Structure 1
């Protein structure tokens, strides 16, 4: 009698592993290739990021709210909920607007942004916050026009470049009027000493030039000029200069310029893999400045750990994937340019914020889109995502799938009534 050798089955077991991997890869590929995938990814990830943002704003701002609002720990998150209540209907309307109507907003949007930025320079209207005069006081409400300008310049430049699509081989057509208009916005932002926002707008401009096919030498020149100007402007402020000197090692000047990034690192390192739990942050108890705005990612890392931070970054990358899929499938140049511009804006700002918290970049006051507190940033971001969701719904295959689903639902309701 022969005895079976258990090692004889080893090749069969190893053969099953590649087969299983191929199976799951095929399943994932099939799911991603479905007509409504981009639509559901954009809708789901936006909703999840907004939910995480509200939870983190509540947690990160509770101590600050308690101290500044006579024991009311919910004052900041209540204001954020008010902005969400404004932003979600605006996003829904944006997702339903026909493309022709969206394009009609291009010139009014850029003109409004320029006017609002110019009003900051009017004595009595501009409000200084943390050394930057980039807020506009309108009665009891303060808004940050630069956040509105980000959406405006993406919309306007996409509209202009879509009209000029067949003439974009000319350097003159690339520059006028888009580069001049956005350059004016950058100058107005810089007059308020907001270097961080100016760098975001420069990144948006470079992304728009790249997507319309500007020559490579233009980017080299633009990056060199932007770098030189940014370094020069940093030297005009001792506070900025100190941050530039210490961002790689904030512990060199722990009590002054390094205080905020150092405590951000403390928060991230104490979170571990799974975090301390929602509400359990220690750094938000006065040690970490701007805990619910620019440095909310640090509190998120402390409370939700590495898993939470990777989840948030993954959600932003998912938005980028879905949006780029929409942009590469469309035949409308306006949709393509606007989609790439929105991705460059939101993803670029996320990278700058995370890099700042991780001390890979100097502290430049950039909020984390959809997560940080602030209505001026939240509402334009939601409108931009609403536009992307609308573009995804209008993809030919997605539109047919939604129409068939609606028809099937109507038929089911009719059959139900007939049965009764």
Structure 2
């Protein structure tokens, strides 16, 4: 049961720290928009509470039931992603990745598509568990139907989320033992596709040029450079909670979203940055431990997929902040401001916890606890009858 408790503890600390940092990082943006300083953190808390409720519910669902939801989840994700491309879809910063449900009510289906894709992959490979030595069984229907979700996300011009979904597919295929003769051509094709998508977009090309030469456009490079200044000025222990200077400058619009790790480094220093990295490392170890200890193909695939989703997204976000990757618009899981991302990540955590309770060791531990509790209940009932 150790992975179960490590997953719950690491996610709880990340969410708590993230909520605190959203309060700090969003204050300048709230001031700029002339709204209450607690406006953004209050909204975030609503999604945190809702996400925790969903996490608890999902953690109590039997993996066998989750497996049966694989295909319906995939179908629902496809329908929602198609609706995003319809007149119901909403544009945001050049991407069409939001779905309007009513006045002031919108959400991002691509965030939930990540979880749907992972659960669907688990259901698919559960059915193929005796034929995974055949390359065709590894590729079909994973590549065409998983690729459909990827294509719909990319159709909305959201390359960052598309990259995460592509990585989830690659990591799942690698974990189940897909041979290199299959992985290398797929990886090459994916690299060519990314190159074409970047080359065909002026906005993406400008991000690449800014990444290679920040001085080429000082207006567009203000956020990446401000992120580096924030990390550099934080020192060992930081400037103190709420004392960030860059959230009033170049980071203002995204200090509480995609660049919140920079504010953590500035206010909490290297200690705070390493704490976040360490918590993600602990979460990654625990998630992979669940995958390795599971005796069911569905559990193995989903545990590795959810863990790969969290870790790849965290690594990409942190690398962007550290100017090791161009800006991709990927939030930091459990920490960045955003309702859809928070709900999806906490739902994924609930699924991971459900799988952690279903490893052979965990089942034996839970069974022993039930046996120990029965004699106590029997003795209490006997004493009550005697009275």
Tell whether the structures are fold-level matches, with TM greater than 0.5.
Answer: yes
Deviation for aligned residue 1:412: 7.1
Residue 4 (structure 2) aligns with:
39
- Structure number with the bigger relative contact order (C-alpha 8 A, sep ≥ 6) is 2
What TM-score results when the alignment is normalised by the length of structure 2?
A: 0.93
Asked if 1:389 corresponds to 2:321, the answer is no
The answer to whether the Cα contact below 8 Å between 1:239 and 1:257 also exists between their aligned partners in 2 is no
Residue 25 (structure 1) aligns with:
none
| Structure 2 residues without counterparts, runs of 5 or longer | none
Asked if 1:380 corresponds to 2:344, the answer is yes
The answer to whether the Cα contact below 8 Å between 1:186 and 1:201 also exists between their aligned partners in 2 is yes
Report SS of the residue matched to 1:340: helix
Residue 166 (structure 1) aligns with:
130
Residue 126 (structure 1) aligns with:
89
Aligned positions, number: 382
Larger Rg belongs to: 1
Q: Deviations over 1:214-235 (max 9, x none)?
A: 1102222222222222122112
Residue 359 (structure 1) aligns with:
323
Question: What is the rounded CA distance, in whole Å, between the counterparts of 1:302 and 1:88 in structure 2?
Answer: 29
Asked if 1:201 corresponds to 2:158, the answer is no
The answer to whether the Cα contact below 8 Å between 2:7 and 2:287 also exists between their aligned partners in 1 is yes
The answer to whether the Cα contact below 8 Å between 1:253 and 1:259 also exists between their aligned partners in 2 is no
The answer to whether the Cα contact below 8 Å between 1:182 and 1:205 also exists between their aligned partners in 2 is yes
Question: What is the rounded CA distance, in whole Å, between the counterparts of 2:44 and 2:368 in structure 1?
Answer: 38
Q: Deviations over 1:112-140 (max 9, x none)?
A: 111111011112x1111111111111112
Q: 1:311 to 1:409 in 2, by over 3 A?
A: farther
What TM-score results when the alignment is normalised by the length of structure 1?
A: 0.86
Which one is further off, 140-149 or 227-236?
227-236
Q: Deviations over 1:275-315 (max 9, x none)?
A: 11111111111421311111111111111111111111111
Question: What is the rounded CA distance, in whole Å, between the counterparts of 1:78 and 1:414 in structure 2?
Answer: 47
Question: What is the rounded CA distance, in whole Å, between the counterparts of 1:327 and 1:51 in structure 2?
Answer: 26
- RMSD over aligned Cα, in angstroms? 2.0
Q: Which residues in structure 2 correspond to 1:20-419 (within 5 Å)? A: 36-68=1-33, 70-123=34-87, 125-139=88-102, 140-250=104-214, 252-253=215-216, 255-288=218-251, 289-405=253-369
The answer to whether the Cα contact below 8 Å between 1:49 and 1:312 also exists between their aligned partners in 2 is yes
| Structure 1 residues without counterparts, runs of 5 or longer | 1-35
Q: 1:52 to 1:407 in 2, by over 3 A?
A: farther
